[in-house]
């Protein structure tokens, strides 16, 4: 131990930072594993045949399941989900209530992304008035609860929101509705309907984990270097003092 003298302050710094850096690395690995499982689940359910709308409310885990709908859009109560980008362009996602004829249930259907380059003018969109048949899939936000920032007492539509909670919309409109957003598959009634399932893929989490582990190794290496360097300096100093005494 005489050859290793890191000092009190570096020891305290390493004791605090090293467990933190390592835990952050393992947390990123766990998040990456969760995202991989989520994407696999998404791929399997999107590849399956669409279920009937009558099965939707009786499904315990509806996330990413495809559903076949037949009904009409409500053009009077549109929601515009703000701060959505595609290819570096700013826009919104258009969500509208859709009443399924088979069940009478209201569903909040996302019809896709449309550009909004000029904030001085409202986004332009049209709503089909006829009865439609369309396929959609249930979107459940991973790790977060939807929040609706629309005014339930508002009389001006469409409303601009930053996040979505269908349940609050149904309460405001006094309707029996499904608790999750449905995202329509590309078709005549949609705009740009290509949504990423997760904002950050598993590979990003792996890269961040490698960075945290690398910082841990660098911190530990610096700690040992300082300890050996300080010990060497002290030993050299002690040797010079002994020579002077002789």
What is the tens place of the pLDDT at every residue in 9-29? 888 888 999 999 999 999 999
| Tokens 């590849």 sit on residue | 47
Give the Å distances, CA to CA, from 170 to 33, 96, 229, 233. Answer: 35, 12, 68, 73
DSSP helix, strand, coil percent of the chain (3-state; round to 5): 40, 25, 35
Taking only the tens place, the pLDDT of each residue in 107-138 is: 999 999 999 988 889 899 999 999 999 999 99
Taking only the tens place, the pLDDT of each residue in 51-104 is: 999 998 888 888 889 999 999 999 999 999 998 988 889 999 999 999 999 999
Torsion, CA 151, CA 153, CA 157, CA 158, rounded to 10? 20
- Residue 39 near residue 33, CB atoms below 8 Å: no
| Tokens 């919104």 sit on residue | 92
pLDDT greater at residue 239 or residue 102: 102
CA 61 vs. chain centroid, Å, equals 19
Distance, in Å, from the CA atom of 31 to the CA atom of 215, rounded to the nearest integer, reads: 19
| Model pLDDT, residue 237 | 56
Kindly report the pTM of this predicted structure.
Answer: 0.68
Which residues, listed in sequence order, are joined to residue 69 by a DSSP beta bridge?
134
List helix spans (H) across the chain. Answer: 8-47, 166-173, 202-245
- Residue 23 near residue 215, CB atoms below 8 Å: no
Which of 32-41, 55-64, 92-101, 175-184 shows the lowest per-residue confidence on average (mean pLDDT)?
Answer: 32-41
Determine which helix (DSSP H) or strand (DSSP E) holds 137, and give its type and residue range: strand 132-139
pLDDT band at 155 (very low <50, low <70, confident <90, very high): low
Q: What is the mean pLDDT of residues 35-43?
A: 76
Burial-class residue 125 by CB neighbours within 10 Å (0-12, 13-18, 19+).
middle
Which residues, listed in sequence order, are joined to residue 67 by a DSSP beta bridge?
51, 136
Residue 71 structure tokens: 């009904």
């Amino acid at each position: 131990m005489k050859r290793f003298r890191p000092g009190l302050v570096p020891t305290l710094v390493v004791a605090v930072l090293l467990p933190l850096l390592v835990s952050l690395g393992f947390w990123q690995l766990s998040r990456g594993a969760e995202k991989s499982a989520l994407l696999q689940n998404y791929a399997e359910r999107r590849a399956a045949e669409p279920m009937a709308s009558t099965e939707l409310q009786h499904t315990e885990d509806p996330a990413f399941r495809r559903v076949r709908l037949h009904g009409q859009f409500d053009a009077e109560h549109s929601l515009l989900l703000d701060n959505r980008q595609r290819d570096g362009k700013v826009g919104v996602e258009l969500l509208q209530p859709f009443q399924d004829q088979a069940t009478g249930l209201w569903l909040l259907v996302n019809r896709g992304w449309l550009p909004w380059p000029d904030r001085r003018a409202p986004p332009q969109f049209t709503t089909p008035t006829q009865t439609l048949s369309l396929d959609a899939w249930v979107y459940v936000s991973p790790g977060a609860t939807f929040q609706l920032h629309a005014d339930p007492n508002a009389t001006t539509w469409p409303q601009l929101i930053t996040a979505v909670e269908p349940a609050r919309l149904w309460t405001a409109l006094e309707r029996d509705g499904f608790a999750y957003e449905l995202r329509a598959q590309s078709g005549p009634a949609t705009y740009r309907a290509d949504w990423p399932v997760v904002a950050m893929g598993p590979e990003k989490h792996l890269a961040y984990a490698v960075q945290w582990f690398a910082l841990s190794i660098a911190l530990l290496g610096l700690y040992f270097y300082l300890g050996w360097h300080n010990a060497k300096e002290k030993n050299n100093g002690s040797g010079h003092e002994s020579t002077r005494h002789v």
